[in-house]
Amino acid sequence: MKRNTFSQIIKKRGIVPFLALSSLLFSSCQVEKYPSSSEEENTSSSIISSEDNVEAKDKLKKSFLNSLINGISLSIDTGYLNFGGLDNKAYFDNAELKAQLKTFSIQGLNISLDMPINYRGKKREAIISSIDEWVYLDLENLDNPSSTSFKYKINIASEEIKGENNKSQVDTSTGGIYYYKYGKLSYVLDEIMSILELDNSIGLPSEGTSISTDSILESLDNIKMVDSSYYHWNLPLGEKNIPIGLKSDEDGCFSGFDLPYEGYTENEYSINEKVSLKIKSSLTNENVSINAPANPNEYLKLEDSLDLIKDIALIANKKKFSISTKNEKLKLTHFEKEILGTSTTFKRDEINEEAYLTLNADIDFSGNMLNDMFAKALFECNGKSQQIAALKENNDIYINFNNILCAKTSKITLDNLITNIKNIFSSNDSNQEIDSSSSGLLTSLSAIKEAMDAVINSPIMIGIKNNQYDEILPFIQSLRSSNNQIDIVLDLSKISGSENAGTLSLSFSRSINSLALLQIDFNKAKFASFTLEGTLYLDGFVLGTLENKENYVPLYHLESVANSFLNFDNSRRSKMNVKGYVLDENTSSIYTSDYASTHIKETYGRLEQGFTFDASFAFDLTEAKGSGILNITDRKAEYINDHQLKIDVEGKEKENENDLTSALSTSTNAMLVEYNSKNRIDPNSNDGKATKRIDPSNKNGIKAAFSIHSLNGIINTVSSLLESTDPRFERLTNLFSIVSNVGLIKLLQDGKYLELVATSILKDEGGAKVSENEDVFVIKKDVLLNTEDLTIRVGFDKKELVQDEEGNQIEKYGTINYIGIDSTFNFGGNNKKIVKIEISNVDTKVSDDELSSNFKGQDKNQFSDYSSVKTMLEFLLSSATLGSDKDNDYTSTYHLSGSVSFLTVDISFDFYISLQGAEVKVLGVMSMDMIVLVNAPGITPGTRYINFYYHVSGENDKGLVYYQRWDDGKLSNKLYEGKFTGDLFSENPLGYILGNLFGLTDSMMESITKNDKVSTAKHAEDILKSYSFNNSKQNALEEPEFTLSLDMEKLSGSDKLNELNITLGGKTLTNGNKTLSSANGELSLNILNIRAKFNASLKNVETGKYINAWSDSNKVKVVTAWKRTSVKQEEKAVVSYYNQLGNQANNLTSYTGVTNHY
């Protein structure tokens, strides 16, 4: 093959084509590190002396340029981009690079790059070529060839710049004609750069380029020969040195290149912090001709899509756009299938909601900040709707909420308010964590959480987090282009985490029939249980406006409110007073109208039963200190009584505190609590006698201390219970449904989130009134809770005239001086509560004395340490999940055995219990003596045997109780059998147990269950006799004992009962789990001086290990039949016998009643 010499090449064609090729190959690479001279010495220690290799280097340079002129073809033997991490490389092995210099310009450089790409198994291809003054681009999806049609071409032949009437533009000073140096490419780039407000003089290389041709020429003379077949070339591009390795064959002629060169400090060439590159190539052919694509007419001329490109560039640069649904609506569907109740789960009704969104928004985000904005949205669902409109114009902000609240303020004021509130809820202590309770909220919003989790945990998002971008490739389902239009379809299953998730279509268009620059089509776009359908249109910016905005009322006090939050954020202290009442509608207390009028503060001028209250408290969030006092007046038809609660919190938990740390120690911070029900009006006074006030016998009240360590533990324990998704706890949380069976909370509980969003809060007429002295907001009936219209009043101090910094008089509006809430709550039937709450005297100026105003200086030893309540709650909650784990399908089992004895009656019992989710199973076996006049029928004593069955589940949430009562009397035997629903049993458990199961006589039932008429107040300090925790024993926390003494006569109001003493014992199992394991005590009765003693123990943890109690390997002794004149007892397997009783219960045709002795 004929080769031109290096001097011939330079003389004939100059260096420009070679430099252009170098620029095209390497100008896009950004170097993070290149070797210093010392590094070059370290990495090139074997470089041959320059005096010995001048001829070899010259031969290499000549052959390199000669091959380039005659046409060259290179194969990329190894090529990849490394995005970091394991298996995160985009390979382009076997890519083919062809190049040929035909003339002395960029236009004369023919070059072709065919680059197949394999990125983590996803295959794509990019074909880029510049041939005979045409540049071609072709992107292909090798995994799905029919999905992609993206081909463009543009002519780079220089051409005259035409002006008006298609005349050439002439330089008036020189007479020369203006040209686009690179033809249509220069024209398109000039137009884009003009829109982007960049320098629009296009040249490659331009005058401003930092690439020096002299430096490149000099670098060719300074290549370093490593050996006879390999050279190091540090190609200078501006301030960067590109480490190229040039390879030669046995004849010393150019045969390929590497990037970086062998021996470079790194194995790969670093483009930036996250991406590096490696290329090893070989010369495959010379004298290569580079031809245009076989189908050049399939390529779109780029300039024919200039309108589209310009508009995209305009919005990208200005960041100003409008987005709307035009005359259409977005449809949002929320569907969740009905979940039938099973034995272990509760039934869930089907959710099927449809909502519609109409949107029109104009946004100016130029300068990366929100400037002007207009937005109007209508959200409709199930006959409800919310319409919100907002306008930001210069520094003014207007908002229209359902045409009920139409208000305006300034951006500065609103920004200050948001910033100050945000600062309050963020921690100033880097070591302090703020619990936002988001986990509990998201547990409630299960469907929304599921949708969010689907996106967050999708392969795309996980990949991006790990710098792996391969999942983005199949996310793009199709990519197609036509003149002035680009269509992209995204497969949402790749980001929603579920199949058949629909698609999102993006159509960029400036064709004749296009409705907007960007049309976004949601084609059944599914995220978890939500599906979105419809179209959004994005186009150029035109700011809309609000009608009659001049009539919008100013939010006078927003600035003062913002300043109040700022003051609180600075001091982290606040104090306030609270007062109000909760009264029973249509009732009358002991108060008379005359009496009420003379006791306005205590009665609020009202006569109803219920309670009134007043409180004051102060706190410091930084130091975790506070003090408060609450006074309550309990109003009944028969009497009045006062209650008082005082609380001081001494500060944060200190280091090294534990469950045995005494709250009474002077070195321990504690919460000190004092409760008393001593009347504030002397019971012996005329007022006291008129309202039948009686003070407690215990004059000291209840004085309790909790260490902050224990208080934090109690809060965490209760929070974990409320946040638990275990169905066994759902019955507990359902107790709160009585105040939330309507409105927003009901919608939230039922999972109807779309209807919740569409529910307007404020009353349509008179729902909002803003004035200088008071703001009034009226919440619709039954929207928040079971209430009539709920009125919120916010009162402000009077405005003042003050001087600004320049001495001008300005109006300063007052701060909040009270917040009032008035409504009537409905609790079913005629049970209605009239509620009034008023918060006043809010101030951030709080002294240290106000933070410990109740017990400062008092001896802590006057208090009883109740810190052990934390330990008791932990053991109690842990007992509820005893033995529950994945291996046993989260089932807890219990074998409870014990006895009760009073008079000559002895009762023994064995209960086997299984808890699994919503399912509860109970098998009970009891025996007792039958005593005449107590529990014996007639005059026949004997022994009574009881078999007890209880079952409740998600399928039958009412439950079923079944019992067999075998009366083995001296003169006769009788079997009583009955069943009743669990909900009826729970309404009157004492009646069913004592009357039906235990068979107490009517006279005895009346003696025990009949309450004397309560005409005086109950005093908690008289009821709670004592509480103690045995913390002196060595293993007090592993096997705790809690002792409680209660005055049951004072608690129940029945003079038949006396004192109850009970001791609860706990046990820590060998696996570390905790459980309550025993209970024993005594109840004294004022009937024949009866003392009922009882004890119970959890048998399946006696050894210190948990044993499954709900198993047929456990046997229970039960009565199964009569045997002559007595009973027949047999040992039965627990589970089998329980199922047998269940079958007998189902075969029983009628339910059993009970005589209600209350």
DSSP for 179-226, written as a single string? EETTHHHHHHHHHHHHHTTS-----SS-TT----HHHHHHHHHT-EEE
Q: At 438, is the pLDDT very low, low, confident or very high (cuts 50, 70, 90)?
A: very low
CB 59 within 8 A of CB 252: yes
What's the rounded Cα separation, in Å, for the pair 724 and 443?
Answer: 9
Burial of 1072 (0-12, 13-18, 19+ CB in 10 A): exposed
Amino acid at 335: F
Of the ranges 257-261, 743-747, 984-988, the best mean pLDDT one = 257-261
Using the 8-state DSSP alphabet, how is residue 505 labeled? E
Average pLDDT rounded to a whole number, residues 349-368 = 91
Q: How far apart are CA 1046 and CA 409, in angstroms?
A: 60
Given a cut of 80, whether residue 13 has pLDDT beyond it is no
Q: Are residues 543 and 671 in the same domain?
A: no
CA 747 to chain CA mean position, Å: 19
Tokens of 348: 């869930």
Residue with tokens 């076996």: 925
pLDDT for position 448: 64
Sheet holding 816-826, edge to edge: 768-770, 774-779, 790-796, 816-826, 832-843, 573-584, 610-620, 625-635, 640-649, 670-676, 702-707, 864-865
Q: What is the pLDDT of residues 886-896, one digit of tens each?
A: 888 889 999 99
Residue 735: pLDDT over 80: no
Tell me what the mean pLDDT of segment 437-454 comes to: 53
Regarding whether 584 and 530 lie in a shared domain, the answer is no
Alpha-carbon span 757 to 457, nearest angstrom: 26
Angle, nearest 10°, between helix axes 869-880 and 708-723? 20
Which DSSP helix (H) or strand (E) runs through 1021?
A: helix 1020-1023
Of the candidates 612, 1069, 664, the residue with the CA atom closest to the CA atom of residue 875: 1069
Alpha carbon of 986 to those of 98, 740, 950, 961, 1007: distances in Å?
87, 22, 12, 10, 22
Give the confidence band of 736 by pLDDT, cuts at 50, 70, 90. Answer: low
Percentage of the chain modeled with pLDDT above 70: 88
Asked whether residue 226 is domain-assigned, the answer is yes
The tokens of 1046 are what? 């209660």
Render 619-634 in DSSP notation, one character per residue: EETTTTEEEEEEEEEE
Using alpha carbons, select from 1029, 737, 712 the residue that is nearest to residue 720.
712
Domain that holds residue 970: 870-1010+1019-1147
Judge if 850 and 884 occupy the same domain. Answer: no
Distance CA 564, CA 85 (A): 50
| Cβ burial, residue 8 (10 Å; 0-12/13-18/19+) | middle
Q: Which two tokens stand for residue 398?
A: 């207007």
| Sheet containing strand 1091-1098, strands side by side | 973-981, 960-969, 942-952, 919-930, 905-916, 891-902, 1091-1098, 1074-1085, 1057-1068, 1041-1047, 1024-1029
- Whether 620 and 572 have beta carbons less than 8 Å apart is answered as yes
Using 50, 70 and 90 to split pLDDT, how confident is the model at 552? very high
Residues 6+ apart with CB under 8 A from 548: none
**Do the Cβ atoms of 1005 and 995 come closer than 8 Å?**
yes
Please check whether residue 922 lies inside any domain of the structure.
yes
Count CA atoms within 13 Å of residue 14 on its CB side: 11
pLDDT of res. 437: 35
Please tell me whether residues 970 and 1115 are part of one structural domain: yes
Position with higher pLDDT, 617 vs 566: 617
Q: What is the pLDDT of residue 104?
A: 59
Beta partners for residue 90, in sequence order: 81, 119
Q: Are residues 774 and 877 in the same domain?
A: no
Helices (H), 586-707: 593-598, 600-603, 686-690
- Domain-ending residue, one of 526, 551, 576: 551
Whole-number mean pLDDT of the chain?
84
789 contacts 823 by C-beta, under 8 angstroms: yes
What pLDDT was estimated at residue 425?
A: 66
Closest of 870, 894, 963, 871 to residue 728, by C-alpha: 894
Confidence of residue 108 (pLDDT cuts 50, 70, 90): confident
Going by the DSSP 8-state scheme, the letter that residue 488 receives in this structure is E
Same domain, 661 and 542: no
User: Across residues 83-104, what is the average pLDDT?
Assistant: 86
Q: What's the DSSP call for residue 348?
A: B
Could you tell me the two tokens for 119?
Answer: 């990125």
Residue 899 identity: S
CA distance 1152 to 961: 10
- pTM (two decimals): 0.76
Domain boundary among 867, 890, 924: 867
Residue 597 lies in a domain: yes
| pLDDT score recorded for residue 734 | 58
The Cα–Cα gap between 957 and 983 comes to: 9
Per residue in 447-468, pLDDT tens?
Answer: 666 667 767 777 778 777 778 8
DSSP SS3 for 300: strand
| 855 contact partners, CB below 8 Å, separation of at least 6 | 646, 648, 672, 674
pLDDT at 213: 54
Between 362 and 30, residue with greater pLDDT: 362
Is the pLDDT assigned to residue 405 strictly greater than 70?
A: yes
Q: What are 49-85's pLDDT values in tens digits?
A: 545 578 888 888 888 878 888 888 999 999 999 998 7
Q: Alpha-carbon distance 112 to 134, whole Å? A: 11
| 1022 — pLDDT class (breaks 50, 70, 90) | very high
Q: Is residue 754 part of a domain?
A: yes
3-state SS, residue 1121: strand
Lowest mean pLDDT among 174-178, 320-324, 646-650: 174-178
Domain final residue pick, 848, 867, 886: 867
Same domain, 234 and 362: no
Residues 6+ apart with CB under 8 A from 591: 599, 603, 607, 635, 640, 691
pLDDT of residue 228: 82
pLDDT of residue 447: 62
Q: Are residues 575 and 518 in the same domain?
A: no
Same domain, 381 and 264: no
Q: Is residue 389 part of a domain?
A: yes
Indicate whether 1059 belongs to any domain. Answer: yes
Chain segment 902-958, per-residue pLDDT in tens: 777 789 999 999 999 889 999 999 999 988 888 888 788 899 999 999 999 888 888
Residue 313 lies in a domain: no
Among residues 885, 870, 898, 877, which one has the least CA distance to residue 1106? Answer: 885
The pairing of beta strand 503-509 with beta strand 485-491: antiparallel
The beta strands (E) that lie in 424-510 are given as: 476-482, 485-491, 503-509
pLDDT in tens, 657-699: 999 999 999 899 999 999 999 999 999 999 999 999 999 999 9
422/275 same-domain check: no
Is it the case that residue 311 has pLDDT exceeding 70? yes
Flag whether pLDDT at 969 surpasses 90. Answer: no
Domain assignment present for residue 1158? The answer is no
Element (H, E) at 563: helix 558-571
Q: How many structural domains are present in the chain?
A: 4
Angle between helices 306-318 and 183-195 in degrees, nearest 10:
30
Burial class (CB within 10 angstroms; exposed 0-12, middle 13-18, buried 19+) of 1032: exposed
Same domain, 499 and 580: no
DSSP 796-842: EPPPEEEE-TTS-EEEEPPPEEEEEEEEEEE-STT-EEEEEEEEEEE
Expressed in percent and rounded to 5, the helix, strand and coil fractions of the chain are: 25, 40, 35
Same domain for 22 and 120? Answer: yes
